[in-house]
Structure 1
Amino acid sequence: MVSRRYDHLMRRNRSEAVGLVVGAAADAAVGDPQRYHPVAGFGTAVSRVERLTYTDSRPVGAAFAVGWIGAAATAGALARRAGWLGTAAATFTALGGTSLCTVGEQIADALDAGDIEEARRLVSGLVGRDPNLLDESGICRAAVESIAENTSDAAVAPLFWGAVAGAPGLLGYRAANTLDAMIGYRSERYLRFGWAAARIDDGANLVPARLTALIAAVVSGRPGDAWRAVRRDAAKHPSPNAGVVEAAFAGALGIELGGRTIYAHGTEERPTLGDGHAPTAADLRAAVVLSRRVQAAAAALAVGGRWWMG
């Protein structure tokens, strides 16, 4: 009996390792679909239910977040029954690193062509800042910071949770991160209702963010500079996770990030991260290259980890 269960777990975990490979390869090849993306559908459903159930309350917000994350993890458990194909679909759904890098390159192209309005339009899809207030340096800084943070959120973290828990981990994490992006703000509306979503996302990213920083330090070829920036500057950032990866990217790229940041909900004075000049379009391209290297290394580690669990 024990032997049969062990064999079943071994086959399932190795099947999920194959699914991680296929899903990551599919994301690298085609990126996010422009229409009918499952995450977009999830977000639409969340918005509709929020309008019906919103209450300015932490307990209600916590129940809202836990319910949606649980539903997504259950969908992952059902996908796992389809074998490696189900895990591949969950992996492709959860990953967003390729599209992130594509937008980064498009912003750099627009800036090199002198089309700052197009660059503003593109960067508005990555950050919550008012793009009309950003000059070329501000656009580059916003894009590099987003690429750094989302290399963790949209690539390393889903792969990490896929390695730990398979398809339920992949979709459960993606739900938590999407909820944080939708309601995890310190605005008047979401300060209490979105509190649990923000805290769950922080917890889910504690290990992946530091793994992202470690991988970035190694693959950049400048581990000393990256870790110096992390040790000195990361704790100054208001986010326990974004500061780690942004500092690592700043150190690895030899640039300075942070500073005055204007959001829809107000202005924040962010600490500076790293040493060097303000990011340029060339630095944005370098951030894209670094992100792709980190994503490839994380995929290899996740697949190897899930296979080893088998």
Structure 2
Amino acid sequence: MTSKWVGRGSPEGLLLGVALDALLGDPRRGHPVAAFGRAASALERRVYADSRARGVVFSAVLVCGAAGLGVVAEKAARGRAARAAVTAVATWAVLGGTSLGREGRRMAHLLENGDLDAARRRLPHLCARDPDGMDEKALARATVESVAENTSDAAVAPLLWGAVAGVPGLLAYRAINTLDAMVGYRDPRYLRFGWASARLDDAANWAPARLTGLLAVACAAPGGRAGRAWRALRRDGAAHPSPNAGRCEAAFAGALGVRLGGVNVYGGRVEERPELGDGRVPETGDIRRAVRLSTAVTLAAAAVAAVGAAALGAAVAASGRRG
């Protein structure tokens, strides 16, 4: 029976992992994702070349290695309680929803106190934009957009993959997302080498981003903005240059009653992003609202993941009995 469950999510483990993330957040030292990043950097130094083929090998080795570690961990866990415990630890290790909320609230606190210099220094913890010269509203918009986009990356996507593929799915997704953050850029060094990591991240986030948008619509309902969030998601979600980020940002824009998008600067490169939503320009007070919405979406995603994992497990068990 144990072998049939390998690679299937544990509903109890996923929910317990979400609770651990809410209580503990990310560890300040010895974070497993940081250890993976150091291993990836070491491998990059050995295999890097201005080549897509080398990038494919780089991504494949690391993602398959992470998934393989998950398979070993699940096979070593015998019994439902052990599987739940292993899943909980893996879920806690890969989730970043609590840390995302903390960063958002920290930015809100700095802007509420008028400390623009400190807010500019803090912004790189959330996104890769150049903060120099940003005023309060620009910083608020950047923070709201980052909270919206990263709700999918930090919480919804790992939970979805954990439900579908268990611990291997959790670890493989976090590996994919981390590699995209490390090498998935369009600069001269990584345009070719990072191509595979960027495309793999796009594929892994396709379903989670759309689920994030739908959950944002659902979670907007108590405030009466569900209809506006749905319209923004349908109308503007595909306008973003990213195949996934626009779905999250558009739904959040509608739910919060703000307008996202505009001019962004990355490493001196200016990009004009399409407008998402039809509300006002975000203000400092909208950051805390975005964080609360992100938390609600994360909890909703945890419920969806647990139900999905339970349904998948029941289907696998029924298939085994018929066989």
Per the TM superposition, whether the score is higher than 0.5 is: yes
2:42 to 17, 41, 48: 48
2:97 is matched with 97
Structure 2's unaligned 5+ residue stretches are 78-82, 314-323
Write the distance in 2 (CA, Å) between the matches of 1:133 and 1:187.
23
1:132 is matched with 132
1:236 aligns with 2:230: no
Write the distance in 2 (CA, Å) between the matches of 1:265 and 1:55.
25
1:149 aligns with 2:144: no
2:168 is matched with 168
Write the distance in 1 (CA, Å) between the matches of 2:129 and 2:227.
31
Amino acid at match of 2:293: L
1:220 aligns with 2:220: yes
CA drift at 1:247: 0.6
Identity of aligned residues (%): 55
1:259 is matched with 262
Amino acid at match of 1:58: R
Write the distance in 2 (CA, Å) between the matches of 1:164 and 1:250.
29
1:273 is matched with 276
1:265/1:198 CA distance change after superposition, 3 Å: farther
Deviations 1:211-256 (A, max 9, x none): 0000000111222111211222122211000011111101111111
CA drift at 1:133: 2.7
CA drift at 1:265: 6.1
Structure 1's unaligned 5+ residue stretches are none
1:289/1:64 CA distance change after superposition, 3 Å: same
2:4 to 4, 9, 14: 9
1:265/1:190 CA distance change after superposition, 3 Å: farther
Write the distance in 1 (CA, Å) between the matches of 2:302 and 2:186.
33
Give the conservation status (yes or no) of the 8 Å contact 2:7–2:166.
no
Give the conservation status (yes or no) of the 8 Å contact 1:151–1:291.
yes
1:76 aligns with 2:70: yes
Report the more deviating stretch, 42-51 or 290-299: 42-51
2:250 to 242, 247, 251: 247
SS state at 1:271 partner: strand
2:33 to 39, 43, 56: 39
The aligned length equals: 304
CA drift at 1:136: 0.8
**Runs of 4+ residues over 6 Å off in structure 1:** none
CA drift at 1:53: 1.2
RMSD of Structure 2 on Structure 1 (CA): 1.5
Report the more deviating stretch, 300-309 or 287-296: 300-309
CA drift at 1:153: 0.6
Write the distance in 2 (CA, Å) between the matches of 1:194 and 1:70.
17
1:283 aligns with 2:286: yes
Deviations 1:107-165 (A, max 9, x none): 10111111112212222111101122321111111111111011001100000000000
Write the distance in 2 (CA, Å) between the matches of 1:290 and 1:168.
29
Give the conservation status (yes or no) of the 8 Å contact 2:8–2:165.
no
Give the conservation status (yes or no) of the 8 Å contact 1:90–1:170.
yes
CA drift at 1:13: 4.6
Amino acid at match of 1:40: A
SS state at 2:125 partner: coil
Write the distance in 2 (CA, Å) between the matches of 1:269 and 1:290.
26
Write the distance in 2 (CA, Å) between the matches of 1:227 and 1:264.
33
Amino acid at match of 1:191: L
Give the conservation status (yes or no) of the 8 Å contact 1:152–1:209.
yes
1:27 to 10, 21, 24: 21
